[in-house]
Each structure stands twice: as structure tokens, then as C-alpha cells.
Amino acid sequence: SPSRRAAAMAAGPPPPLEPSPLPMFSEEGFGDKFLRKTRENPLVPLGCLCTLGVLTYGLISFKRGNTRQSQLMMRARILAQGFTFAALLGGMVVTAMKSRK
């Protein structure tokens, strides 16, 4: 009933007049942001490292004149880049789904 609700509200202390202070956030540096993003989606840095490793090995093979190995590594680099892109896209989808809830 409305009278009981009004009596319960009157029994409590009045709300504070001054607004509560807003929480202070510290500036996030590059290293902190990198670590946070790595924890959120560890597959992206892993894919980047694989891409870099395969690219490096392919360039070394090319410089040594091993064209067959070099071509194989360049194809592997494309696969590693595709994996990295898929991990990045997947992470964005998961983040978007979490923010909707």
C-alpha cells in the first residue's frame, strides 16, 4: 500500500545532498594496455609471432638461394596472417557480445 511505502521511506536517512565523488582512473600506458589486450585475446600476439618467425625464416631461405623453401615459407606466412586476422576478428566479436549483455 502507498502509506506503508511512504512510512518506510520516511524512516530511513535522507539521501546525501552532495553528489558522490567520481572514481579516478589512472592513465593506461602502452605496456599496461598491451598486457591487458594480450590477456583478453592471447591468440593475436601468438599469430603475430608466428607470422614474424615464418617471414624471417622465408627471407633467410631466399637470401641463401633456397627458392623452394622460401616459397613454402611465404605461403606459410599467408596462413599465419590469416590465423592472426581470424583471431583478431573473433576477439572483436567476443568483446562486442560481452558489451551487449
Domain-wise residue ranges, the chain:
40-99
Q: What is the pLDDT of residue 13?
A: 67
Percent residues over pLDDT 70 in the chain: 77
Residue 65 DSSP code:
T
91, 64, 61, 92: which is closest to 76 by C-alpha?
A: 61
Mean pLDDT of the chain: 85
Query: Is the whole-model pTM more than 0.85?
Result: no
- Segment 26-55 shows an average pLDDT of 89
Q: Measure the CA–CA gap between 76 and 90, rounded to whole angstroms.
A: 21
- Segment 2-19 shows an average pLDDT of 63
Q: Measure the CA–CA gap between 42 and 38, rounded to whole angstroms.
A: 5
Helices 43-64 and 30-40: crossing angle, nearest 10°? 100
